[in-house]
Amino acid sequence: MEPLIFILAAIITFLTAIIAGMIGGSYLILIPALIWLGIPTHEVIGITKILTIAVGFVSINYWMHGKLDLKSTFPYAILVGIGSIIGSFIVIGISENILQIIIGVLMILIVLILILNKNFGLNPIKIKVKKHILLLSVVLFFILGIYDGFYAAASSIFAVMLFTSLLNKDFVESVASARFIEFFGGVTAAFVFFANDLIDFKIALPLAALFFAGGWIGSHITIKKGANFVKGVIIIVSVAFIIKLLIFR
């Protein structure tokens, strides 16, 4: 890789990592940007698996500040990890164009939920989650893991919404939990991509260091600003992604 191309990739990686540490969804920007710089698509996806592992360590910061409940989150991390293995082996039968439309529509639903329900994810009542909701969460997180294994773009935002809507976590707790489960998904998917020689570690490792640094900064912003701030950022980022996915494709 030419030095200028690597410098551009490094800058983009660091800046998008701040978003990743705050709420996730950075791959909707990073993946097409790296492909545009000339890195082969399969290698880009492989690189993002290493980046996911790196930013997953940001969950340590959330745990240190009491925002990550490992006991309640760990089972979902296992589900995402297993699903991610399956997703990594899947030969996608759906075009990327259709996939982007589906993601865009889901983003519209997320924005509508956040705007229409002003208290969503801000001060959740800590009650025992009903059994049928737990069962639904198991199914949805497993599906999320499969999706995370083969594409991963916006998977963190979807995870945040699942933790918030189904498991009564506020936005900061949900972001912390999403970072933790994404780590497991990244590890299992990276193993599959590594076995198929689809990870260029000369590029992936330096970018991973930058992704961790940016993610750590993002996590500090989230912890300091709180749930209201995170909700606003999710709305802004989601609207930006909707415009990108559905209008400027």
How many whole angstroms separate alpha carbon 217 and alpha carbon 226?
14
Domain of 73 in residue numbering reads as 3-246
How many whole angstroms separate alpha carbon 247 and alpha carbon 32?
15
Q: Find the DSSP H helices in the chain.
A: 3-22, 27-36, 41-56, 59-64, 70-89, 96-116, 131-150, 155-167, 171-195, 201-225, 227-246
Residue 74 has a pLDDT of 93
Which mean pLDDT values do the consecutive 10-residue runs of the chain (249 residues) have? 89 91 79 84 84 88 90 92 85 61 76 75 66 91 87 79 86 88 87 84 94 92 82 79 71
Which pTM value belongs to this model? Answer: 0.80
Domain count across the chain: 1
Choose among 17, 19, 23, 15: nearest CA to 176. 23
Q: What is the DSSP letter of 153?
A: T
How many whole angstroms separate alpha carbon 225 and alpha carbon 231?
11
Instruction: Classify residue 132 as exposed, middle or buried by CB count within 10 Å of its CB (0-12, 13-18, 19+).
Output: exposed
